[in-house]
Structure 1
C-alpha cells in the first residue's frame, strides 16, 4: 500500500481501486476508516465509476446494444497505476482497456488524487474523455468512517450534523436496489441525524439536491469530530451494513436506476456527458479533530 503522512495525519491507500484504507489522526491515535471486516463489509472507500448504484437487471442500452455492469461499476475492482507521489500527495490512474470496452464503450483516463493539508485529507477525481465520441458516465464516493471513535462511546451516541438547514426527503430503494417512485420525509432534530443500527434496516438513505456541503460526525461524549465536505454532487447516500460499526458518507454524481427506467443510458437520471478531449473533476475532503 501507498502511505502519506504529515504532522497531523497518516494515510494508507491500496492501489486496487485506489481505495483509502486508513486515516489516522496522529494527535489522538484514532483510526477513522472502517477496517473492512468481511463479516460485515469487506471494503473501506470504493470509488463508484462509471455508474453509481445498480442498473435495472444489471443492464443498460447504448446505441441499440445491451451491456452488463455490476452495481457501482468496475473501477473499484481494478488496479490503478501510481503516477505521482511525494510525502503528502499521491495520484493514481486507471484507463480504459479492451476489457472495459466490452462492457462500457467509452475511452477514458480516470485519476484519483489524495492530498494531505494539516488535519485534512482531500480526495479529487478527474475523468478525461480520451475517445472521439461523447462520453456518458456517473461518479461517486463511498468512504466508510469508523463509529464509534472510542469503544466506550457507543454507536448511538453519534450524530451527523448538516451545515445547512435541511428539509430531507429520502428516496427508498426497492429490493433490487432501484430508486422508488416517491420519496419519504425524514425529520431531523436540530439539523442532526442521530445514528442508530436500525436507521439502515431498509438499505441506504438516498437524497437528492442537499443544500449542505458539509456534514459533521461527532459524539455526545467527547470533543473529537470528523467533518466531511463536498460540493457539486447532486445526490448523496448514507449507509451502514447491518449491525456494523461504521457509517458511509457518499457524495454522488449519479444514482441507481429508477424502478420504471427504460434502461437507455442516454435517458438515465444522473448521467454526466463529456465531449471528446474534455475533463470532469469533483472532490471531497475530510477534516479530523
Structure 2
C-alpha cells in the first residue's frame, strides 16, 4: 500500500512498507527526482535506516552481555508502518516495538516518519520515542537515491555535487564496510565535486558534518537539480554502486555510522550511537528541494 501527498508544486508517494519515499515528482516539469528502484542496480528508493546505520561487525552487537543479530541498516526499512495521520500535504507513519523487533533489538520504542510538502520542498522528519523504562541506544538516517541524469539528453558525467557552506569537511574512509577513523582526511568540499563512477570505487564517500549543510546534485548543461539540506545530522554518505553504471546517486544524512574498524561490538560504546532516556523523544529532519 502507498499514500500520496501533494501541493501545487509536487506529488510525493510513500510506501507503508518501510515508510519509504518512492516518488517525488514535479507538477511543473513532470520530472521524477527519486530513483525508481530497478533491481538490476538497486531495488530500493529511499530506505529509512534504524536502529543502526551501516554494517555491524559480524552483523551483530552485544548489549548487557547478550548478543543480538542485526543486518545492515537495521530492520525499519523492511517493516510495515501504520499511517497515523494523512492530510493533503502531510503524512505520518509509525512503527512500534513488537515481539519481532524484540528478537533483535531489546528496546521499547515508537518511530514516526513524517513527510511534509512546503512549496518546492519535501521535509522528512524523524521522531524516536523511548517508551521503555531504561536508556535506549540507536542510530537513524536516510538513504534517498536521486535520478542522475534528471533530464533527457544529459549523462551521469554531466552532473556535479556542490556543497554549502563551501568549506573543507573531515572525510572518513571505509575499510571494507567499516569506518576507518584512524585514517580520516580533510575532504576538499570547499569546491564542487564532479560526479564520476570512480568516486565510488571504495563504496560510499563519508563526511563529518556540523551545523547547517546542503548538498546539491546539479549540472551546467540543464536547468534542474535537487538539494538535500539539514542542520543537525553529524554524517553524510554519498553513494552510487560501482562498477555498475547505475543512473542514480544517493545523498545519505546520518545520525550514526557503520562500526569502526576496531569496534568492540558493545552497543553502548558504538561510535555515533545516540542515547535516549526513558520517555524522552529524539527529533531530526532533512529537506529535499527540487528545481
Question: In the alignment, what sits opposite 2:11?
Answer: 10
Question: In the alignment, what sits opposite 1:50?
Answer: 51
Question: Residues 211 and 231 of structure 2 are in contact (CA less than 8 Å); yes or no, is this contact kept in structure 1?
Answer: no
- Using the size of structure 2 for normalisation, the TM-score is 0.95
Question: Residues 151 and 222 of structure 2 are in contact (CA less than 8 Å); yes or no, is this contact kept in structure 1?
Answer: no
Question: In the alignment, what sits opposite 2:198?
Answer: 198
Matched, 1:270 2:272: yes
* Separation (CA, whole Å) in 2 of partners of 1:265 and 1:139: 14
* Separation (CA, whole Å) in 2 of partners of 1:231 and 1:240: 24
Question: Residues 14 and 20 of structure 2 are in contact (CA less than 8 Å); yes or no, is this contact kept in structure 1?
Answer: yes
Q: Could you report, residue by residue, the CA deviation over 1:143-172 in whole angstroms, capped at 9, with x for unpaired residues?
A: 001111113111111111111122234222
Aligned ranges 1:1-289 → 2 under 5 Å:
1-175=2-176, 177-180=177-180, 181-188=182-189, 191-210=191-210, 212-242=212-242, 243-289=245-291
Unaligned runs of 5+ residues in structure 1 are: none
Unaligned runs of 5+ residues in structure 2 are: none
* Separation (CA, whole Å) in 2 of partners of 1:202 and 1:215: 20
* Separation (CA, whole Å) in 1 of partners of 2:152 and 2:241: 18
Question: Per the alignment, in what secondary structure is the counterpart of residue 156 of structure 1?
Answer: helix
Q: Could you report, residue by residue, the CA deviation over 1:168-215 in whole angstroms, capped at 9, with x for unpaired residues?
A: 34222222x111231244335x62111011111110001123565111
Q: Could you report, residue by residue, the CA deviation over 1:204-235 in whole angstroms, capped at 9, with x for unpaired residues?
A: 00112356511122111112221211121111
Are residues 209 and 228 of structure 1, via their aligned partners in 2, closer, same or farther at CA, if it must alter by over 3 Å? closer
Question: Per the alignment, in what secondary structure is the counterpart of residue 31 of structure 1?
Answer: coil
* Separation (CA, whole Å) in 1 of partners of 2:209 and 2:34: 26
* Separation (CA, whole Å) in 2 of partners of 1:4 and 1:193: 33
* Separation (CA, whole Å) in 2 of partners of 1:272 and 1:24: 33
* Separation (CA, whole Å) in 2 of partners of 1:106 and 1:168: 34
- Give me the CA root mean square deviation: 1.2
Question: Per the alignment, in what secondary structure is the counterpart of residue 246 of structure 2?
Answer: coil
Question: Residues 211 and 232 of structure 2 are in contact (CA less than 8 Å); yes or no, is this contact kept in structure 1?
Answer: no
By how many angstroms is 1:123 displaced? Answer: 0.6
Count of residue correspondences: 287
